[in-house]
Amino acid sequence: MAAGMASTALEYRDGAITCRGYLVHDRKHAGVRPGVVLFPDARGVGEAVKDRTRRVAALGFVALAADPYGEGKLAHDMPEAMRMMGDLRRDVTAWRKRAGAALDALAMQSTVDRGRLAAIGYCFGGSTALELARSGAPLAAVVSFHGGLESPKPDDAANIKARLLVCHGADDPLVPPAQVAAFVTQMRKTKVDWQLRAYGGTVHGFTNPEADQAGVAALAYNPSADKRSWQAMLELFGEAFGTA
């Protein structure tokens, strides 16, 4: 970890559930600053999202990798990840509440400006960030990286307060064109400041350098899409927080 960077395990509660997040900030940045909550893919808070959390903190934000399942649970394989994800998705109210608990825990940090909050997420985490936005959470910016775009309550898009960025692999078989089109149709019914960027020749999991190791055709790292989507996030944060 770079000099000046401080990380800690952060416990917070969602009702009776104890969640164990990963909080990072750069001590070189004094005073309060915007906070960013990061939602991981279906495996939980592993090294991939921890690395992204450190990268976000290095930009001058206070960053929290959220624990989606509680107790710091990690999926050991894809079938387990799908089961754990499915259990959480089954009740959208509870799913949003779990995400909101992480945002609240971040906002309570003394170094965080509670009026300048963002949420980003990867794969299942991208869907989670979008559901948090649909709940009407007080977010200035939301970014989904290769997240699913379906929602159990799509009309709740009208509740979104944040600037919204969706980064999508144009050839992603897990988020097919019909799902993308339905999302676009729904967003057009709102007054949300939204954008969707689709990257050609790109499938699911394009920000994860380990995606190819899964041996699944639907998953592949794409360094160009990874770089471009990160830059798009920075542009959005610049608009939302004046950090450009």
Say if residue 244's pLDDT is above 60: no
Going by pLDDT thresholds of 50, 70 and 90, the confidence category of residue 93 is very high
pTM comes to: 0.96
Quick one: average pLDDT of 68-93?
A: 95
Strands 17-26 and 62-65: antiparallel
Angle in degrees, 0-180, between the axes of helices 92-107 and 124-134, rounded to the nearest 10: 90
SS (H, E, C) 138-186: CCCEEEEECCCCCCCCHHHHHHCCCEEEEEEECCCCCCCHHHHHHHHHH
**Hey, CA dihedral for 206, 123, 244, 4, is it positive or negative?**
negative
To the nearest whole percent, how much of the chain has pLDDT over 90? 90
The pLDDT of residue 217 is 86
With contact defined as beta carbons under 8 Å apart, do 163 and 141 qualify? yes
Cα–Cα distance for residue pair 174/32, rounded to 1 Å = 39
CA atoms within 13 A on the CB side of 208: 27
Q: Which domains does the chain have, with CATH numbers?
A: 5-241 (3.40.50.1820)
